[in-house]
Structure 1
């Protein structure tokens, strides 16, 4: 048995000085493609929110629940999955494929929803299925990249970013048709994702050993100061990220319409896709490359300072030249996500091996809980003082995150020395 294991490991020889398993880049391509397609479910309903608001006659309170429904479902699903160790007890590819299939089905059922209660419930359930996609994709990737994951995780987050913004691109083609085509298209993409992972993607030759989530182990995470500093930086990052992704398209709609009522709808959709998806994808890859050279903390500090500046400046472009708004939006889109993967990488590098899984799960769950508050705060501020000042509040997150990552730097330096 020992010889067989040795032969398997030799066959999948470690290349590039023991840093990469043979075939890992092919696996990354399929995992990234699957992530891109499946994550189109996240904002599939948000891009057609005006139509759904009219259809379901949503009240302001219901609109808030609608905006927060997917993050709520994701947090519930992530806690459930991690606590019971679903991804560790079952084949990760199958968990991903089943989750993508169920997500596609639940998303498609929106077509038949005739009330806000059913619609919001379906979005929450869709969020739960996404918890079996994003974290599981990270797990599969970690098995294919046992070391030096910075660039690989960056590429995966780029796929997540493109996938999340994909509905903005889809709506360009169906803006003149029924909103149902957007829902159908995103569900088809999720089904394709399930097919790729279950049929085309192979299992990693070497399995990682990760412990399931435990409340007892969680105490060790909370007492680990450098891990919590990295988490605090992540929480500040998340305060800004999903609120920007959610409301920037609506900001652009209002801003462009104020500048010129004749602006075609597809221009807004394309601008949103470029600012969030294309720019974000580029930012993830650049962040992954640079972080290995200048350090996780330095990369996150630079990114958060730039994104905080953009969240303050973007309001001053409201109703002004469209090109100026798009330029700042693209810079914001690049900087706001460039550091995302590095917070998880930092925790995985500095936490004790026995509770790395719990630390990452804790980081992700609290981070997405934070997004629920910031997402719902933006429309309140917008109604009170207008779009010009609505995004100011988002700068608080990256500013506080920058402070904590400055404190984290000395622990990162010690870890590198060891």
Structure 2
């Protein structure tokens, strides 16, 4: 079945626009701390609030089979509008730590109707070549996640609120475009009834479990790394007074470069197999975790930033491939629900790793704490090795 060539670029652009909400708060964290008298632990708590909101949102979306029972494009649109509204609420001058946590939580909640639903829309259009399609989609997520850091650098002379305003406007634009230009896909199979059992049914499949557990291991590392990139850069810059790099700009580059590796991984998977390339990327990110204490402690600025850029590439390259394996091994009629469930559990895991690093970073300044991020990739690699029958 022929699909219009414009569909994928539209979905990718809209995903970029809407996922810029994710780390908008992180990009202006120093300003939030200063303006609202927040404690030093605010980074971990506000980041975790978004993740927690996303988890609850994906659980509700999954249990109610929202993405399978209703038009995914409409779900995406309404989620984008509501997410943008709660993101914008951060600029309210009367905010407290509690209200900021609530607004970031609600932003995360409605991101549940954006990221996994965007993958569902792509899966409804691209039965063949799904791996390559999702690689572009996750690449858009990476750029969207990194964009607030670039925006912060670009608006250095303006109020920090401009970052929140621009990301909210982008999310509205993305939602409107998906509603107007991307109808339901030709491979969509609508689920008319509630299927509470779907939450558990998907894990009965051994191949699905292998792909899902690989994804969970990947998630243990990913968001903790992204959340602490600006912190690592700021600490390094503070301990080397002769260094003048812009923390916001380099943070953007370290995170955004993962978008390129997602696309590259998607193309490589067509020739070498989805599972094989996903396994290789997960292995390389595991190696980065293990050598991080020495690479992050180097006196060479070039080596330090080069290592972070490499880590930024391999930490995300497996994400679209693992999502592809999940989608390929899920029943067609609950594919949206399956993707949402896996996202929900994966993001629950990110809270644990983020909070763990948050606590340890208060106790010690040692770079050896980042070795703990290797736990996820190691377990993910074991899961992927358990079966050789995962669809590729």
TM, length-normalised to structure 1: 0.87
In 2, the alpha carbon distance for the partners of 1:87 and 1:298 equals 30
Query: Which one has the largest radius of gyration?
Result: 1
The answer to whether the Cα contact below 8 Å between 1:229 and 1:407 also exists between their aligned partners in 2 is yes
Name the structure 1 match of 2:20.
Answer: 40
Instruction: Name the stretch that deviates more: 222-231 or 72-81.
Output: 222-231
Give the drift of 1:123: 0.4
Q: What stretches of structure 2 of length at least 5 have no aligned partner?
A: none
Matched, 1:258 2:258: no
In 1, the alpha carbon distance for the partners of 2:43 and 2:283 equals 31
Name the structure 2 match of 1:27.
Answer: 7
| Aligned partner of residue 173 in structure 2, secondary structure | helix
Alignment map for 1:193-232 (pairs within 5 Å): 193-199=174-180, 201-204=181-184, 206-211=186-191, 214-232=195-213
In 1, the alpha carbon distance for the partners of 2:347 and 2:374 equals 17
Question: Which whole-Å deviations, capped at 9, do the CAs of 1:287-328 have from their partners, x for residues lacking one?
Answer: 111122222221122111111121233332336222111111
Q: What stretches of structure 1 of length at least 5 have no aligned partner?
A: 1-13, 15-20
Equivalent of residue 314 in structure 1, options 292, 299, 323: 292
Instruction: Name the stretch that deviates more: 117-126 or 73-82.
Output: 73-82
Give the drift of 1:67: 2.1
Matched, 1:330 2:320: no
| Aligned partner of residue 389 in structure 2, secondary structure | helix
Higher relative contact order at CA 8 Å, sep ≥6: structure 1 or structure 2? 2
Give the drift of 1:90: 2.9
| Aligned partner of residue 116 in structure 2, secondary structure | helix
Give the drift of 1:403: 1.4
In 2, the alpha carbon distance for the partners of 1:356 and 1:142 equals 8
Give the drift of 1:387: 4.6
In 2, the alpha carbon distance for the partners of 1:341 and 1:390 equals 27
The answer to whether the Cα contact below 8 Å between 1:67 and 1:376 also exists between their aligned partners in 2 is no
How many residue pairs end up in the alignment?
389
**1:154 and 1:102, CA in 2 relative to 1: closer, same or farther beyond 3 A?**
same
Instruction: Name the stretch that deviates more: 389-398 or 217-226.
Output: 217-226
The answer to whether the Cα contact below 8 Å between 2:68 and 2:337 also exists between their aligned partners in 1 is no
Instruction: Name the stretch that deviates more: 279-288 or 98-107.
Output: 98-107
Name the structure 1 match of 2:163.
Answer: 182
Name the structure 1 match of 2:251.
Answer: 272
Give the drift of 1:57: 2.5
The answer to whether the Cα contact below 8 Å between 2:16 and 2:144 also exists between their aligned partners in 1 is yes
Name the structure 2 match of 1:67.
Answer: 47
| Aligned partner of residue 244 in structure 2, secondary structure | coil
In 1, the alpha carbon distance for the partners of 2:381 and 2:178 equals 37
In 1, the alpha carbon distance for the partners of 2:149 and 2:11 equals 22
| Aligned partner of residue 104 in structure 2, secondary structure | helix
Give the drift of 1:218: 3.3
**1:133 and 1:331, CA in 2 relative to 1: closer, same or farther beyond 3 A?**
same
- Cα RMSD (Å): 2.1
**1:42 and 1:285, CA in 2 relative to 1: closer, same or farther beyond 3 A?**
same
The answer to whether the Cα contact below 8 Å between 2:220 and 2:349 also exists between their aligned partners in 1 is yes
Matched, 1:104 2:104: no
| Aligned partner of residue 411 in structure 1, secondary structure | coil
Instruction: Name the stretch that deviates more: 48-57 or 125-134.
Output: 48-57
| Aligned partner of residue 45 in structure 1, secondary structure | helix
In 2, the alpha carbon distance for the partners of 1:222 and 1:91 equals 25
In 2, the alpha carbon distance for the partners of 1:108 and 1:351 equals 36
In 2, the alpha carbon distance for the partners of 1:327 and 1:63 equals 25
**1:183 and 1:204, CA in 2 relative to 1: closer, same or farther beyond 3 A?**
same
**1:205 and 1:38, CA in 2 relative to 1: closer, same or farther beyond 3 A?**
closer
| Aligned partner of residue 214 in structure 1, secondary structure | coil
